[in-house]
């Protein structure tokens, strides 16, 4: 079959924070993608604000570099897909792998293969893609290169890789310094026989297959991602499998339901570095973007009008976690962070989106580009069940909507169960924990409460222990905060979906109850002084509260209704302790993720552009009491 030797398509996959985006940065710089005078940021591919804040890749993105071989041959275009390293964004990984012919598996020289390494490698091996192993961060003081390579071989064998897949080339790199080598350096050192990424580029050219095609085949192009432009409208990112795609061409659009309609390509764009540039034609193996089809969806096919042949739809793993997302139903809806007006801090008017129609439209828009998400109707017309891969993926969606001006009520995360042979099965996770030896007992006890089953334990002799547990997904809701507390902030934990197992039984993951405001008003320092011995408070003086809002964590297991708005009575009688200064313990500020972890079944979260509040589902104190008494009698 004919081959396009002027192009290579490769995806870079790895666990979170093993250096994918840093390596892509170095490839772009050394391939001459930027002018000498350009001001460049770190992690250029992380263009999303949330990606920069959290330091993780959320969306799969493609770039292209022109590599000029040292032997003076014609330049070769290397299309690079930077994929997320977190399993919660697995839909992005699966779409990225459908566009490439090989993967670069990046592994930290100290941490070795971790759960997300297993996840992305399993997807690559299932797709029958060749693998190039890159051992990154060889300059880490605790690097253990030989052991990490052996662990990677063990992982390939564990995932049933065949002989061809396990014979992979190995590159050693320090992506931060832009250096790679084919010779193994000493532990803790930068490769010394090279001062650039030339060995890495040559390995890609040698081991990544060039795209092949049938010269007589009709057009076939697969839509793998979507984007939007203020001038062009919806943009479809696709890989041309067969034939040629031209600007102004009329093509057959094969939709997900099998129907076919003819459409015209109004604009054709090709990626160079970080920008898309107009092009006239895209051939087999090219990754390009087209405009002019307003309702095109991921997984659909553009084909020849005379002989339309559909490509297989992109399939993703089933969702494991669900949340109920609805309109804000609290007494402070539409009133800003202080409850006194829209965005009082900046003085700017916030375009608040508080209606059910606006929330539903936004969730429907999210479904267009996020194939791993599902939105289901509930009994209420203003609330929907949103299912996703994991807690982080759903928290990112809520945070994005919040920044767009939405006010929401979000329920406690739940697991998505399924029936197998008449029995309820729930999703389970494989949790890998790295902790100092002295905290091993505390972690084991913590996992025992959450029905975790230890699967493996290893000690590398460095004072740290690595333990692997199989634990129900609902046992990890609220786990991270308690884990960091028990390990004094030193522990590292990562998990990945492992499948479904029979229901593990009842779990009690939060022992403490809540401090609940019993009336509306403004928090006073006097009331906080008297309440802080009852537990940990979440709000500060001057915060407006309402009945049913959770203002703190009780030191006991049951909930307590408290008056946090109580004021000190002013009289003309001098008190013996009138001049004693009262000190207030600083309140604990909960982020959105921490609030989701803290929530119980009868609690939910109020999310606004300015603040995150935890509240009871039923705000009225008497109604909650009646519900509790009926539950006890039942």
Residue 340 has pLDDT above 50, yes or no: no
Q: Which two tokens stand for residue 157?
A: 């064998």
SS3 sequence of 215-270: CCCCCEEEEEEEEEECCCEEEEEEEEEECCEECCCEEEEECCCCCEEEEECCEEEE
* Mean of pLDDT values over 208-228: 86
Count of alpha carbons within 13 angstroms of residue 474, beta-carbon side: 23
For residue 582, name the pLDDT band (cuts at 50, 70, 90).
Answer: low
Residue 107 has pLDDT above 60, yes or no: yes
Binding-site residues for GTP sit at 17-22, 136-139
Q: How far apart are CA 203 and CA 255, in angstroms?
A: 38
pLDDT in tens, 271-299: 887 778 888 998 888 888 898 888 888 88
- Per-residue confidence (pLDDT) for residue 35, from 0 to 100: 45
Do 99 and 208 contact (CB within 8 A), yes or no?
Answer: no
Q: Which of 87-101, 170-184, 316-330, 357-371 has the lowest mean pLDDT?
A: 87-101
For residue 473, name the pLDDT band (cuts at 50, 70, 90).
Answer: confident
Instruction: Answer left, alpha or beta for residue 179, where phi above 0 means left and psi between -120 and 50 means alpha.
Output: beta
Task: Give the DSSP letter string of 556-614.
Answer: SSS-EEE-TT--PPP-SSPPTTTTPPP--PPPPPP-HHHHHHH--TTEEEEE-SS-EEE
Q: Which two tokens stand for residue 604?
A: 């939910």
Binding-site residues sit at 17-22, 136-139
Q: How far apart are CA 99 and CA 225, in angstroms?
A: 10
- Per-residue confidence (pLDDT) for residue 371, from 0 to 100: 74
Q: How far apart are CA 250 and CA 260, in angstroms?
A: 13
Helices (H), 69-136: 90-97, 115-126
Beta strands in 460-519 (DSSP E): 464-472, 492-502, 514-517
Residue 343 has pLDDT above 50, yes or no: no
Do 227 and 208 contact (CB within 8 A), yes or no?
Answer: no
For residue 120, name the pLDDT band (cuts at 50, 70, 90).
Answer: confident
Q: How far apart are CA 417 and CA 415, in angstroms?
A: 6
- Per-residue confidence (pLDDT) for residue 41, from 0 to 100: 52
Q: What is the pTM of this model?
A: 0.76
List all residues 6 or more positions away from 606 whose beta carbon is below 8 Å from its beta carbon: 328, 330, 332, 407, 408, 409, 612, 613, 614, 615
- Per-residue confidence (pLDDT) for residue 632, from 0 to 100: 72
Q: Which two tokens stand for residue 295?
A: 């309702």
Average pLDDT over the chain reads 83
The position carrying tokens 């060749």 is: 130
Beta strands in 72-189 (DSSP E): 76-82, 102-108, 131-136, 170-174, 179-181
Do 507 and 472 contact (CB within 8 A), yes or no?
Answer: yes
Q: Which two tokens stand for residue 245?
A: 């795609």
For residue 346, name the pLDDT band (cuts at 50, 70, 90).
Answer: very low
């Amino acid at each position: 079959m004919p081959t396009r030797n002027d192009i290579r398509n490769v995806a870079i996959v790895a666990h979170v924070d093993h250096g994918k985006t840093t390596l892509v940065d170095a490839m772009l710089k050394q391939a001459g993608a930027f002018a000498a005078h350009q001001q460049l940021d770190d992690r250029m591919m992380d263009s999303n604000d949330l990606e920069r804040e959290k330091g993780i890749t959320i969306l799969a993105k493609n770039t292209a570099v022109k590599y000029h071989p040292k032997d003076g041959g014609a330049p070769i275009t290397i299309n690079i897909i930077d994929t997320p390293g977190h399993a919660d964004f697995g839909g992005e990984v699966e779409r990225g792998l459908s566009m490439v012919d090989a993967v670069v598996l990046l592994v930290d020289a100290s941490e070795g293969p971790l759960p997300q390494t297993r996840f992305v490698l399993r997807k690559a091996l299932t797709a029958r893609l060749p693998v190039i192993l890159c051992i990154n961060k060889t300059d880490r003081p605790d690097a253990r290169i030989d052991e990490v390579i052996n662990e990677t071989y063990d992982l390939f064998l564990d995932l049933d890789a065949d002989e061809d897949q396990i014979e992979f080339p190995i590159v050693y790199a320090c992506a931060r310094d832009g250096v790679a080598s084919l010779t193994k350096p000493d532990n803790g050192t930068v490769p010394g026989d090279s001062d650039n990424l030339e060995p890495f580029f040559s390995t890609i050219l040698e081991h990544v297959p060039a795209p092949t095609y049938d010269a007589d085949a009709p057009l076939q192009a697969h839509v793998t991602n979507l984007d939007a432009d203020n001038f062009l409208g919806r943009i479809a990112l696709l890989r041309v499998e067969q034939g040629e795609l031209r600007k102004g061409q009329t093509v057959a659009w094969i939709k997900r339901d099998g129907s076919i309609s003819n459409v015209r390509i109004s604009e054709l764009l090709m990626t160079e570095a970080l920008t898309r540039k107009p092009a006239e034609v895209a051939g087999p193996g090219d990754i390009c973007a087209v405009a002019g089809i307003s309702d095109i969806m991921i997984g659909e096919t553009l084909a020849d009008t005379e002989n339309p042949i559909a490509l297989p739809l992109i399939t993703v793993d089933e969702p494991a976690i669900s949340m109920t997302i609805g309109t804000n139903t609290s007494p402070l809806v539409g009133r800003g962070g202080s409850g006194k007006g829209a965005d009082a801090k900046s003085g700017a008017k916030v375009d608040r989106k508080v209606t059910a129609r606006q929330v539903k439209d936004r969730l429907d828009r999210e479904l267009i580009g996020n194939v791993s998400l599902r939105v289901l109707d509930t009994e209420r017309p203003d609330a929907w069940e949103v299912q996703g891969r994991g807690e982080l993926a759903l928290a990112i969606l809520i945070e994005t909507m919040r920044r767009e001006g939405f006010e929401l009520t979000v329920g406690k995360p739940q697991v998505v169960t399924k029936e197998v042979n008449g029995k309820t099965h729930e999703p389970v996770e494989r949790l890998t924990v790295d902790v100092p030896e002295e905290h091993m007992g505390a972690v084991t006890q913590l996992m025992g409460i959450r029905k975790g089953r230890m699967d493996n334990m290893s000690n590398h002799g460095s004072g740290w222990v690595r333990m692997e547990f199989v634990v129900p997904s609902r046992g990890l809701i609220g786990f991270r905060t308690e884990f960091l507390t028990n390990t004094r902030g030193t522990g590292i934990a990562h998990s990945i979906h492992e499948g479904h197992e029979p229901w593990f039984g009842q779990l009690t993951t939060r022992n403490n109850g809540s401090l609940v405001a019993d009336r509306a008003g403004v928090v006073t320092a006097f009331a906080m002084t008297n309440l802080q011995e009852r537990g940990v408070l979440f709000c500060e003086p001057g915060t407006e509260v309402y009945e049913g809002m959770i203002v703190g964590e009780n030191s006991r297991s049951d909930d307590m209704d408290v008056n946090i708005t109580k004021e000190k009575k002013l009289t003309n009688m001098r008190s013996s302790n009138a001049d004693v200064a009262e000190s207030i313990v600083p309140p604990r500020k909960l982020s959105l993720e921490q609030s989701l972890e803290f929530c119980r079944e009868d609690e939910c979260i109020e999310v606004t552009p300015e603040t995150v509040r935890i509240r009871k589902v039923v705000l009225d104190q008497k109604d909650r009491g009646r519900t509790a008494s009926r539950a006890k009698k039942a």
